Amino acid sequence: MTRQSLLLVSFSVLLALPALAKKKAVPAAPPIAEEPAVDISEVKDKLQILGDGKQHYIVVDPWGEPHKHLYYGDGKRFHALRVITTSREGKTAWRRTFWEPRVDAPWKGGVGLRQGKYEAQCGERATELQPLPAEEQAKMLASATFHGPLWKHRAYALARDNKGTYYYVDRPREPDNSKAFRLFSGPRGNLKPLRMTNVVSDSQGDIFTTKKGELRLVLDKKRPVWFAGKKETELVGLPIEDNAMMIYTDLGVYAGQRLGTPCDDLM
């Protein structure tokens, strides 16, 4: 290569350096945190695995502490169920209802033993379960992992206007005082998330601000209001408890998401 050619190549590299400097390396995606495991060692020999023959399993300590050690999973990974109510008749029958907002009555989300038969109830459907053989159960318990509840959010507020536009707010279940609110808005079945820029939450109510203050949801204790610029729309506040089933089914916010209960598969 001639001296002139070398000079041209060097000059070209120098010209390219500013453009290269402007390109920033794409940061690697943060690693997904592994859920901490639940220790079942103290009750491992008391647990019973019930299956429907289709790789859906419920693990329970049937005669132990009624609000502990009830899990659902695929045989490899199990998540704890939030137990709501329990009942027991000596050593012949027991029943536990678990948190399941997609049913219209609490008893329609439960599992139990009655008249010698195990059964899971999800809505109107009852699914008979069978205990796993001892050898198969021991193998599954030795290899499976157990974790806390899969579903991490709780409904916080719900309102709508007189044209059918809904405003829904949720937040993480833990910690109890979490301010990591999420706001969704839209017609029933098609609510979309709105990115919030500021949150005010105190004893008098809540103010959720989006898009640099142009959009605001004010959940006053007496008068919820939606502001779009200078336009004010009065809303009707809807009790969470009375509308849980709609929130988790018809509203569309959680469409396609698993809650980690047997009713994900047995409804």
Between CA 243 and CA 228 the distance in angstroms is 26
Beta pairing partners, 114: 117
What is the per-residue pLDDT across 38-83, written as a single tens digit (0 to 9) for each?
999 999 999 999 999 999 999 999 999 999 999 999 999 999 999 9
Alpha-carbon radius of gyration of the chain: 27
CA angle 178, 248, 88 (to 5 degrees): 90
Q: Is the pLDDT of residue 180 over 80?
A: yes
Judge whether 95 and 110 are in contact, CB under 8 Å: yes
Token representation of residue 99 = 């948190």
Give the confidence band of 34 by pLDDT, cuts at 50, 70, 90.
Answer: low
Strand, coil or helix: what is 4? helix
pLDDT of residue 183: 96
Q: Is the pLDDT of residue 168 over 60?
A: yes
Between CA 240 and CA 168 the distance in angstroms is 10
**Global pTM exceeds 0.75:** yes
Place of tokens 């806390």: 148
Token representation of residue 165 = 């536009």
